[in-house]
Structure 1
């Protein structure tokens, strides 16, 4: 699988160390969001609609919920920093059972996931 040179699995600049096994569901959702945002920025998208099935993450980004878990604070801050790169952005929570598209994309992402020997890089700037 081709790798983008601008990505890193470590979020050291944010004080977050990525553990391949012990990542919470919320951390995994934030990581997926961050990678998606970075990819959208890289290809020059200016307007973006984000539909997510993890209500906590969507509401933390929208500042409707406080980020209480300290491990999530750097992810939330960095995601918000990336969101500032877009002219227009919409975030909406869609319950998974009501959104087959999200479930299909999640399954596709799982199928395309890197093996343990491969790494993906996510740049934090």
Structure 2
């Protein structure tokens, strides 16, 4: 049996940061968290599954909104402490605000300015 899951360096809370990136455009969509169960479920289902720290449970991205993230590839960084989730974003909306990406604010003139994305 493979020990691939043990190569992931989860933090003291059993979580690892997961960066979702759109495979077709290369855009960074969001940062979420995964525990070992979320990683395994993502691979099993072929769609992104994250761990909600506020709700203390797993959530399938798009389960209620239809904005699923279909898994293309899962990558582990050089230190083993971050995961890149390469996905095809359904409905082109990743953020709960209704935007394509959660990274829609840019630092400018000592403030955060909303970008038109």
TM-score by length of 2: 0.29
Would you tell me which structure has more helix in proportion to its own residues?
1
Higher-strand-fraction structure: 2
